[in-house]
Amino acid sequence: MSKHHINVTINGKAHEADVESRLLLVHFLRENLNMTGTHIGCDTTSCGACTVQLKGKPVKSCTVLAVQADGMEVKTVEGLAANGKLHPIQEGFHEKHGLQCGFCTPGMMMTTSAFLEQNSHPTEDEIRHAISGNLCRCTGYMNIVKAVQYAADKMAEKVEA
């Protein structure tokens, strides 16, 4: 059926493609662009492993059509690190052991990144609320919360310095 020509800016880089209407954003990222940092978990809009930012807001990319992203900015986990250095959020997950298998991590980090833009000094309760759409099935949330807290502190330091 219908094909659509789309222009999507992903992590600051422009991409053009002809896509079918039914292509999901997550498949566009993983299969058309080979950007496999974004994971597919439940495929039922539940787990949040596929979370990316669309116009700065976290969305589940298994529940957005690629064609819906036409003309928009998408940010994925591949866009976090810069100049060969981990982003403070990635550093936090590393330092605080915020992952075990790592499957939920890209989604957790993309949610965290949008959340810390809105709330640079979150309480534990606010962090838990913010990541409540992302499921972790192994590490548990204790260390993920610590990782987010670490990132918040580190990013605040940078701003204040």
Partner 1 sequence: MIPPSFDYVAPKTLSEAVAALGQHENAKILAGGQSLIPLMRFRLASPEVLIDLNRVEGLSYIDEKGGWLKIGSMTRESDIEHSELVSERYSLLADTAKVISDPIVRNMGTVGGNLANGDPGNDHPATMLAYGAEVVAVGPNGERVIPITSFFRGLYESDLAPNEILTEVRIPASKPRSGGAYLKLERKVGDFATAAVAAQVELDEQENFTSVGIGLTNVGLTAIKATEAEDFLKGKAASDENIRQAARLAAEAAQPIADVRGSEDYKRSLVKTYTTRALRMAVQRAKGG
Question: What's the rounded Cα separation, in Å, for the pair 81 and 90?
Answer: 8
Among 22, 97, 121, 137, binds partner 1 (CB under 8 A): 22
Rg (CA), the chain: 16
Binding flag, residue 130, partner 1 (CB under 8 A): yes
- CB distance 38 to 52 below 8 Å: yes
Binding flag, residue 74, partner 1 (CB under 8 A): no
- CB distance 3 to 20 below 8 Å: yes
- CB distance 80 to 47 below 8 Å: no
Stretch that binds partner 1, among 9-17, 37-45, 86-94, 137-145 (CB under 8 A): 37-45
Question: Locate tokens 């079918």: which residue?
Answer: 20
Stretch that binds partner 1, among 75-83, 86-94, 131-139, 141-149 (CB under 8 A): 131-139
Nearer Cβ to partner 1, position 11 or 68? 68
List residues near partner 1 by CB under 8 A: 1-2, 4, 20-24, 27, 43-46, 48, 51, 57-60, 63-65, 67-68, 70, 111, 129-130, 132-134
